[in-house]
Amino acid sequence: MRILCLIVLIVITLLEIGPIPISGLILIWVVLFRPLWFYQLVAKIYDKN
């Protein structure tokens, strides 16, 4: 899971070089729609097990 997150962040960083701010649009989408995968990712990151 950690490697997948790292790969996604690298891809987003590379796309940021272009004229469209990709990370801002993704964050707006996550805040507006609160997808289930995002909640599960946050819960897994902060899991105390």
Let me know if 6 is exposed, middle or buried by CB neighbors in 10 A (0-12, 13-18, 19+): exposed
CA dist 38 and 7 (Å) reads: 16
Q: What pLDDT does residue 25 have?
A: 82
Please write the tens of the pLDDT for every residue from 2-49: 788 788 888 888 877 877 788 888 888 888 998 998 889 889 888 876
8: nearest Cα among 21, 28, 26: 26
